[in-house]
């Protein structure tokens, strides 16, 4: 059985390598991290667990299939940390009907079923998150993903985060790197002006460093829907 915070869509992926791609989100409940700027506390903090559902993989897929009108679509596994649960059966059921699966996780927990994914976004948390990066666990996640399309996505809140991202870039030069400014306005409607300024500043820093193989992207869903859930 799976612990599910919410299932919603179709919408678009708002960040990372698949930005703009139509998708249905399956957001699991629970996380082994508690980042200082977490924007999905409703799927992380156990005080919200009464809102979470216990569902079989078949039940989850049936809801995905209903949302997509039975037409195969990209399914994005998110959280919380979706890697803390065994999602292999859900992926197996969906793939048998032509659905593709992507997942984002920080790389703190890994499993052999990562190799079943069509795309894996590893998003290790930078110093501003107040969480510890475990390189051994991260490398195990890379190993388990095997031939899966893998990309590296790092949220940047300050200069220290950017320097840390540069270190990871040097250690994993073959991984496509996506940087995005951190949304720090979680209790209010985000200011598009501030978001744009953050993004422009990040672009300037990346170009100044000559990181010409790095992509800078906004959180598109924040631009379109602010901090609204379920979009």
- Residue numbers in the known binding site for Mg(2+) are 40
The tokens describing 138, both together, are 């991260």
Cα 218 to Cα 216: distance, rounded to the nearest angstrom: 7
Please give the full DSSP string across the chain, using - where no structure is assigned. Answer: -EEEEEEEEEEE--SGGGTT-EEEEEEES--S---TT-S-GGGT-GGGGGG-EEE-HHHHHHHHHHHTTT---EEEEESS-GGGS--HHHHHHHHTTT-EEEEEE-SSS--GGGGG-SEEEE----GGGT----HHHHHHHHHHHTTSEEEEEEEE-SHHHHHHHHHHHHH-TTS-EEEEE-----SSPPPHHHHHHHHHHHHHHHHHTT-TTEEE---HHHHHHTT-S--
- Binding site listing for S-adenosyl-L-methionine: 37-39, 80, 123-125
- Binding site listing: 12-14, 27, 31, 35, 37-40, 78, 80, 123-125
Cα distances (Å, whole numbers) of residue 88 to 24, 45, 138: 17, 24, 20
- Binding site listing for substrate: 12-14, 27, 78
- Binding site listing for [4Fe-4S] cluster: 31, 35, 38
């Amino acid at each position: 059985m799976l612990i599910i915070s919410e299932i919603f869509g179709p919408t678009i992926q708002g960040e990372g390598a698949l930005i703009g791609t139509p998708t249905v989100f399956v957001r699991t409940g629970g996380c082994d991290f508690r980042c200082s700027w977490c924007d999905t506390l409703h799927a992380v903090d156990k005080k919200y667990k009464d809102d979470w559902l216990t569902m079989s993989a078949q039940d989850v897929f049936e809801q995905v299939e209903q949302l997509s009108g039975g037409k195969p679509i990209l399914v994005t596994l998110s959280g919380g940390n979706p890697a803390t649960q065994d999602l292999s059966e859900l992926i197996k059921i969906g793939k048998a009907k032509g659905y593709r699966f992507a997942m984002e996780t920080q790389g703190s927990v890994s499993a052999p079923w990562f190799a079943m994914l069509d795309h894996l976004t590893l998003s290790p948390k930078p110093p501003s998150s107040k969480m510890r990066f475990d390189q051994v666990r991260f490398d195990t996640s890379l190993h388990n993903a095997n031939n899966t399309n893998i990309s590296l996505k790092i949220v940047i809140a300050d200069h220290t985060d950017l320097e840390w991202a540069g270190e990871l870039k040097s250690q994993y030069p073959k991984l496509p790197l996506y940087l995005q400014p951190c949304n720090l306005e979680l209790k209010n409607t985000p200011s598009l002006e501030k978001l744009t300024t953050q993004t422009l500043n990040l672009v300037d820093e990346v170009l100044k460093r000559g990181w010409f193989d790095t992509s800078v992207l906004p959180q598109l869903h924040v631009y379109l829907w602010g901090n609204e859930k379920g979009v």
